[in-house]
Amino acid sequence: MITKQKGTYDIYGDNAKKRQYVNEILATLCEKYNYTYIETPVFESSELFHRGVGEATDMVQKETYDFKDRGDRNLTLRPEGTAGVVRLFIENKLYGNMSEPVKVFYNEKMYRYERPQTGRNREFTQWGFECFGSNDVLSDAECISLAYNAYKLLGLENITIKLNSLGDNESRLKYKEELVNYFKPHINELCEDCKNRLEKNPLRILDCKVDGDSEIIKNAPKTIDYLNKESSERFAKLQELLDLMDINYEIDTMLVRGLDYYNHTVFEVVLDNSYALGGGGRYNGLVETLGGPSIPAVGFAMGYDRTILAMEENNINIPINDSIDVYLLYVSESEKETAAYLAQDLRLNGYIVENDLLNRSLKAQFKSVDRYNSKYLIILNDEKLTNNEITIKDNKTKEEETIDINNLIDYLNMHM
C-alpha cells in the first residue's frame, strides 16, 4: 500500500468541513477590510526565497525543499507566503496605479523540511494577507486589527498581540552593531548556529531555539533602546492606535521574527500568553530587494493548522453541516428520470439534494434519508406523477403532504 509522506496529511470528513467553516470566516473578514483573494504557484525560483527570506535564516539554510527540474532550473517548494506574493505584485505590475494601496490575502499550502510535531507539519496551510503602498502607521494598526479580529471571530478569546519595533534602517544598523559587540565575548557559550549568525544576522540569535532561555540572550540589548527619534515616535503612535481599537497587546523587546525582511513593526499573535499562532510586520525594503520599485508593505501570516488545533483544544464549537435539504426516493425507471430533473432544478435553486445512485430498494433509501439527516424527503410514485403530484415529508415533524410538482420550489422556499 502506498501511504502519504511523513509530515503531510489528508483532509476529509468532519475535518474538511471544519476547515471550510474557518475558510469562510477568514475570507468574509478579509472582504470587510477590502482585501482581495489571490493564489501563487506552489513552487518558485529558489532565488526568490534566498533573496527574499534571507540566506542566513534557518528556513533557507535548513528547511526548504529545493530541487532541479528537467531544464536544470533551481526551484523551491513555497516555504512561506510573503515572498511569492511580492513576486506576483512585481511581475504583474500591480504597482502601476498606486493611487490606493493594493490589499490581498491568500490561503495556501507551504512546505518546510522539519521534524513533524503537534500543530507543525512539513506540509502546512498558511492564511495571510499583505498591504502594499502605505507607509502610514495606521496601515500597521489595521494589519494587527485584522489579525486580532480573525482569532476573535474564530472564538479564541485569550489572545494577546506581542509587539516590538526594529526601527528604520538607521536604527536597525545601530542595533545590530550593539548586538555584535554584546555577543562577541559570549559567543563560545552559545550554539553553533548562533556563532554563524553573529556576523551574518545577529538578530537571529535572539530567536534561537536552542539558547533562547539562556541569561546571555535574555540580557541582550533591546531593540527599542536604539530606535531613532522618528522610529520611536512611530512606535508610540502605533500603540496609541491599538489602544483606541481596544486591542490587547504587550511590548516584547525580544521579538524579532525569524525572517530578514522586517523593519519597524513586528508582532505575533499569542494564545494564553504562551502559544504563538501567527505573526507579521512591516517590510518596506522587500519589494525593491526582489527587483521592484521602492514600495512600503506590511503583512501577516496565520499558522492555520495550529489555529484549528487551538480551537479544538479550547472546545470551540466549529459548526459542521451534517445534513442535506432534500432526499428524492424512487423505484422505477420513470421515477428515476423524474428524480434526475428534479434534483437538477432543486440544486440550481440552492438546495442540497441527494438521491439513490445504487439502485437500492425503497426501504434502503429510507435508511439513507436518516443517514444524511435530510430535512425533507420526496417520494416519487408513477401513479401520482401522472397527475403531476409528489409526496413531500418533513423528516422532523413527520408531517407529509401531496403537492403539485410544479409548486415544489415555492413550497420549499416557504417552509425552509
pLDDT reading at 54 higher than 90:
no
User: What average pLDDT does the chain have?
Assistant: 90
Average pLDDT of 333-339?
96
pLDDT reading at 56 higher than 60:
no
Residues 253 and 341 in one domain: no
Q: How confident is the model at residue 224 (pLDDT cuts 50, 70, 90)?
A: confident
Q: How confident is the model at residue 79 (pLDDT cuts 50, 70, 90)?
A: very high
pLDDT in the model for residue 57: 64
Which of 260, 282, 313 is the C-terminal boundary of a domain? 313
Residues 162 and 255 in one domain: yes
Residues 32 and 145 in one domain: yes
Query: Does residue 318 lie within any of the structural domains?
Result: no
pLDDT reading at 119 higher than 80:
no
358-379, pLDDT tens digit by residue?
Answer: 999 999 999 999 999 999 999 9
CATH of the domain at 391: 3.40.50.800
pLDDT in the model for residue 282: 95
233-281, pLDDT tens digit by residue?
Answer: 999 999 999 999 999 999 998 887 656 678 899 999 999 877 889 999 9
Q: How confident is the model at residue 105 (pLDDT cuts 50, 70, 90)?
A: very high
Residues 304 and 342 in one domain: no
Average pLDDT of 163-173?
89
Average pLDDT of 15-23?
93
Query: Does residue 178 lie within any of the structural domains?
Result: no
pLDDT in the model for residue 211: 61
pLDDT in the model for residue 416: 84
User: CA-CA distance, 1 to 139, in Å (whole number)?
Assistant: 51
pLDDT reading at 99 higher than 90:
no
Residue 46 grid cell = 529558489
User: CA-CA distance, 346 to 351, in Å (whole number)?
Assistant: 5
Please name the residue that has the C-alpha cell 470566516.
Answer: 25
Residues 155 and 291 in one domain: yes
Q: Give me the phi and psi of 268, to 5 degrees please.
A: -130, 150
**Which residue range forms the structural domain that includes residue 88?**
13-168+228-313
pLDDT in the model for residue 221: 84
Residue 30 grid cell = 478579509
Q: How confident is the model at residue 59 (pLDDT cuts 50, 70, 90)?
A: low
List the Cα angle 130/132/137 in 5-degree steps. 90
Q: How confident is the model at residue 58 (pLDDT cuts 50, 70, 90)?
A: low
Nearest alpha-carbon partner for 76 in 51, 48, 104, 99:
48
Residues 158 and 286 in one domain: yes
Which of 259, 287, 313 is the C-terminal boundary of a domain? 313
Give me the amino acid identity at 258. G
pLDDT in the model for residue 52: 66
276-324, pLDDT tens digit by residue?
Answer: 899 999 999 899 989 999 999 999 999 899 999 999 999 998 888 889 9
Residue 278 grid cell = 501567527
Instruction: Name every residue whose Cβ is closer than 8 Å to that of residue 150 and which is 6 or more positions away in sequence.
Output: 25, 26, 29, 302
Nearest alpha-carbon partner for 205 in 187, 223, 225:
187
Which of 281, 313, 345 is the C-terminal boundary of a domain? 313
Share of the chain above pLDDT 70, in %: 95
Question: In which order are the strands placed within the sheet that holds 400-404?
Answer: 353-355, 326-329, 376-379, 389-394, 400-404
Query: Does residue 193 lie within any of the structural domains?
Result: no
For the entire predicted model, the pTM comes to 0.88
Provide the domain count of the chain. Answer: 2
Q: How confident is the model at residue 138 (pLDDT cuts 50, 70, 90)?
A: very high
- Cβ atoms within 10 A of the Cβ of 387, count? 10
pLDDT reading at 96 higher than 60:
yes
Residues 298 and 340 in one domain: no
Residues 278 and 402 in one domain: no
Residues 243 and 160 in one domain: yes
Residues 148 and 77 in one domain: yes
pLDDT in the model for residue 117: 76
Residues 362 and 238 in one domain: no
Average pLDDT of 36-57?
85
Residues 248 and 391 in one domain: no
CATH of the domain at 240: 3.30.930.10
Query: Does residue 187 lie within any of the structural domains?
Result: no
Average pLDDT of 59-67?
82
pLDDT in the model for residue 134: 96
Query: Does residue 191 lie within any of the structural domains?
Result: no
